[in-house]
Amino acid sequence: MAVCMIFDAPGGTKSQYEQVRSEVDPGDIPPPGALYHVAGPTETGWCVVEVWDSRKALESFATEVLPPALERAGLTGQPRIFEIDTQLQL
């Protein structure tokens, strides 16, 4: 089952987002299991919405790949992360 992740980073900036994105998606090649990615500024920071083909793929990315990239970009605060089980419809 596909899963949607909403990552809200209060205080996050476009430059921090671009730094993380360049590390986790080098050459704009999405990580295994990533189906959809969109991001943009909010009133309080930066928000990323992704759809993954499985919870296992998302958890692997979120625990192994993403944390070091966030730390290097200086995003050490407490982002709000929401996960939604969904049915993928194209």
CA 39, 30, 65, 83 dihedral sign is positive
Q: What is the pLDDT of residue 32?
A: 93
Tell me the whole-structure pTM to 2 decimals: 0.85
Give the C-alpha separation, 7 to 27, whole Å.
22
Question: Does domain 2-86 match CATH 1.10.760.10?
Answer: no
Say if CB 88 and CB 2 are below 8 A apart: yes
Give the model's confidence band at 89: pLDDT under 50 very low, under 70 low, under 90 confident, else very high.
low
Q: What is the pLDDT of residues 19-64, one digit of tens each?
A: 999 999 988 899 999 999 999 999 999 999 999 999 999 999 999 9
Q: What is the pLDDT of residue 84?
A: 80
Written as six digits, the tokens of 69 are 């990239």
